[in-house]
C-alpha cells in the first residue's frame, strides 16, 4: 500500500519542512515516491529557499570552488549536544553508539533537552545557510568559541528532527537515498521541464540550486559557462583493441598520447587565474609556476588539460607528482625538485565566446594558434584511421613513458559532464601478449 506523507505544522520555507521532507524521502525505497515527495516540496519554496534546499539535498553547503569549509569537528558537535541536552558524557556516548549515526543520535539526545531559549526562533533555509556561512567565516583566535556559539543557538531553537538533519549537514552524511540524478528528476517534475533539458543545464553550470531557479522560470536555455567557476569535465569510455575502435568509428580519428598526470581545468579572466580539479576544487596554489605562465597568455579562456611531472622532454612517474601534491606549501625548492608541464588538449571558452559546441578539430585549431611558452604546451595529436596506425602509436606512447592512447571523434562537441564514445581510452591492456603454454 502506498504510504501518504503530510508536512504538518511547518511553514513551506522553514528548516522544519526541509527536515520533514528529508525524513519522508529516507523512509521510502521507491524512486518514484522520492521524486514525488521532493518535487511537491520544491514547488512550494520561494527562490532563495529553493536554491538552498537543492544544494542541501545534494549534500553540499558551499560550492567546492569557493573553498569555504565549516571546519566543525565531531568534538565540537558533541560539546554542543552535551550543553543543550544537559546529559552527561557517558549517556551521550551510549546513545551515539546505539544509533551508529550522529544525526540520529542528536534527534534522540535533544528530545530530552531541558534548556530552552528565552525567545524561540523558527528558521527558514536561507537563515540557516547564513548562520552556517558565519560559522565557516569564523577564523583566528576565539574562532572555535564563535563557531560553537552560532551552532548552539541553532540547536537550542530547533526541534529534535531539525537537529538530526542539521547534524547530518554539518558532518556531510545526509544518507537519505537522494542521489544527484533524483534531485535533477525532482526539479524537472516540480517545474514541468524535460529531464534532459534540466540535466544539460546542471552539467554546464555545475550547481543544482541555480539550475532549479532556471527551471522554475523556464530559463534553462540561458545556462552558460562562467569564467573562474568550473564546469563538469567531458569523460571518455574504454575500448580493448585498435580493431574495436576502427570498427566502431570507421573514419579518421584524432589520436593523442594518454597522459598520466592530474587533469585540470584552467580559467583566465583578465589577470586572474584559477585552476580546478576534477572534483571542482581550486588547486591553483599547488601549481604556482603554471599559474605564472598562464598569466602570460593575452586572452581569456577555459582550457582542459593535464599537469604532469616532466623533465628533459619526458614524463616522470606519477609517484613523483604525488609527492609534490602531498605538500601543503609549494616553494621554489619543491618547484625545482619536481618540475611540471601543463599539456592543453581542449578549449571550452575563448575571448568571450563559448566553444564547447564546436567540432573538436576546430577547437584544436584555435589552441594551435595561441602560441604557448614556458611550462605550457599544446598536446600533440595525429590523425589515424587504420588499426596498424593506432597500434604503432600505442607502442610509441609506452616507449615515451605515457600510458596508452586517447582516440577522439574530430567532429564531436565537448559534452560537458558526460561519458560517451566521442573519446576512447586505449590503455596498457594492449601491451599484454597472448601466450600458449606447451608441455613437452
Model confidence at 282: pLDDT above 60? yes
**Pairwise CA distance, residues 22 & 17, whole Å:** 9
Q: Give domain status of residue 312, yes or no.
A: yes
Examine the domain organization and report whether 103 and 217 are in the same domain: no
Examine the domain organization and report whether 159 and 181 are in the same domain: no
Can you give the pTM of this predicted structure? 0.89
Examine the domain organization and report whether 386 and 295 are in the same domain: yes
**Pairwise CA distance, residues 213 & 48, whole Å:** 9
CATH number at residue 403: 3.30.470.30
- Give the pLDDT band (50/70/90) at residue 196: very high
**pLDDT tens, residue by residue, 88-136:** 889 999 999 999 999 999 999 999 777 777 677 899 999 999 999 999 9
Q: Give domain status of residue 69, yes or no.
A: no
With beta carbons less than 8 A apart as the criterion, state whether 348 and 364 touch: no
With beta carbons less than 8 A apart as the criterion, state whether 315 and 308 touch: yes
Structurally, the chain folds into a number of domains equal to: 3
Backbone angles phi, psi at 279, to 5 degrees: -85, 0
Q: Give domain status of residue 228, yes or no.
A: no
Model confidence at 360: pLDDT above 60? yes
The string of DSSP letters for 169-237 reads HHHT---SS--HHHHHHHHHHHTT--HHHHHHHHHHH--HHHHHHHHHTT-GGG----TTS--PPPEEE
Q: Which domain holds residue 216?
A: 15-59+177-222
- Residues acting as catalytic residues: 258
Q: Give domain status of residue 230, yes or no.
A: no
Longest dimension (CA), the chain: 92
Segment 335-357 shows an average pLDDT of 96
| Cα 29 from chain centroid (whole Å) | 25
Identify the weakest region by mean pLDDT among 192-196, 296-300, 374-378, 424-428.
424-428
Which residue(s) pair with 125 in the sheet?
A: none
Examine the domain organization and report whether 316 and 204 are in the same domain: no
Examine the domain organization and report whether 190 and 294 are in the same domain: no
Examine the domain organization and report whether 95 and 124 are in the same domain: yes
Examine the domain organization and report whether 302 and 361 are in the same domain: yes
Examine the domain organization and report whether 182 and 322 are in the same domain: no
Side by side, the strands of the sheet bearing 253-257 are 235-238, 419-426, 405-408, 253-257, 382-384
Q: Give domain status of residue 192, yes or no.
A: yes
Examine the domain organization and report whether 26 and 141 are in the same domain: no
Examine the domain organization and report whether 321 and 256 are in the same domain: yes
* Per-residue burial over 3-33, b = 16 or more CB atoms within 10 Å of its CB, e = otherwise: eebebeebeebbbbbbbbbbbbbbebeeeeb
CATH number at residue 112: 1.10.3260.10
Amino acid at each position: 500500500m502506498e504510504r501518504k506523507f503530510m508536512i504538518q505544522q511547518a511553514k513551506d520555507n522553514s528548516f522544519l519542512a526541509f527536515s520533514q521532507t528529508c525524513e519522508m524521502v529516507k523512509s521510502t525505497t521507491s524512486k518514484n515516491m522520492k521524486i514525488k515527495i521532493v518535487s511537491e516540496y520544491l514547488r512550494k519554496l520561494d527562490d532563495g529557499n529553493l536554491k538552498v534546499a537543492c544544494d542541501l539535498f545534494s549534500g553540499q553547503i558551499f560550492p567546492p570552488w569557493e573553498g569555504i569549509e565549516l571546519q566543525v569537528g565531531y568534538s565540537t558537535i558533541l560539546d554542543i549536544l552535551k550543553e543543550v541536552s544537559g546529559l552527561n558524557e557517558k549517556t551521550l556516548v551510549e546513545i551515539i553508539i546505539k544509533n551508529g549515526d550522529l544525526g540520529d543520535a542528536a534527534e534522540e539526545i535533544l528530545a530530552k533537552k531541558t534548556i530552552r531559549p528565552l525567545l524561540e526562533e523558527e528558521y527558514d533555509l536561507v537563515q540557516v545557510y547564513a548562520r552556517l556561512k558565519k560559522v565557516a567565516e569564523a577564523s583566528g583566535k576565539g574562532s572555535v568559541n564563535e563557531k560553537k556559539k552560532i551552532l548552539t543557538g541553532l540547536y537550542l531553537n530547533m526541534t529534535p528532527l531539525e537537529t538530526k538533519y542539521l547534524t547530518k549537514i554539518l558532518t556531510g552524511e545526509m544518507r537519505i537515498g537522494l542521489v544527484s540524478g533524483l534531485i535533477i528528476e525532482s526539479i524537472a517534475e516540480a517545474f514541468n521541464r524535460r529531464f534532459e533539458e534540466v540535466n544539460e543545464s546542471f552539467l554546464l553550470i555545475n550547481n543544482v540550486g541555480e539550475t532549479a531557479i532556471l527551471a522554475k522560470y523556464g530559463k534553462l536555455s540561458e545556462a552558460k559557462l562562467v569564467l573562474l567557476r568550473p564546469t563538469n569535465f567531458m569523460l571518455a569510455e574504454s575500448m580493448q583493441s585498435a580493431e574495436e575502435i576502427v570498427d566502431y568509428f570507421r573514419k579518421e580519428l584524432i589520436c593523442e598520447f594518454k597522459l598520466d598526470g592530474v587533469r585540470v581545468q584552467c580559467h583566465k579572466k583578465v589577470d586572474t587565474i584559477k585552476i580546478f580539479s576534477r572534483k571542482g576544487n581550486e588547486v591553483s596554489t599547488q601549481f604556482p609556476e603554471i599559474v605564472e605562465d598562464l598569466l602570460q597568455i593575452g586572452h581569456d579562456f577555459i582550457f582542459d588539460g593535464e599537469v604532469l611531472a616532466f623533465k628533459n622532454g619526458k614524463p616522470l612517474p606519477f609517484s613523483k607528482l604525488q609527492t609534490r601534491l602531498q605538500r601543503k606549501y609549494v616553494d621554489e625548492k619543491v618547484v625545482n625538485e619536481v618540475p611540471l608541464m601543463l599539456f592543453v588538449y581542449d578549449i571550452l571558452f575563448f575571448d568571450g565566446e563559448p566553444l564547447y559546441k564546436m567540432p573538436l578539430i576546430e577547437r584544436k585549431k584555435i589552441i594551435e594558434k595561441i602560441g604557448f611558452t614556458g611550462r605550457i604546451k599544446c598536446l600533440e595529436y595525429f590523425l589515424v584511421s587504420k588499426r596498424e596506425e593506432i597500434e604503432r602509436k600505442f607502442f610509441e606512447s609506452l616507449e615515451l613513458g605515457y600510458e596508452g592512447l586517447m582516440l577522439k571523434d574530430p567532429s564531436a562537441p565537448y559534452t560537458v559532464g558526460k561519458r560517451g564514445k566521442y573519446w576512447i581510452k586505449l590503455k596498457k591492456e594492449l601491451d599484454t601478449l597472448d601466450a600458449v603454454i606447451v608441455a613437452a
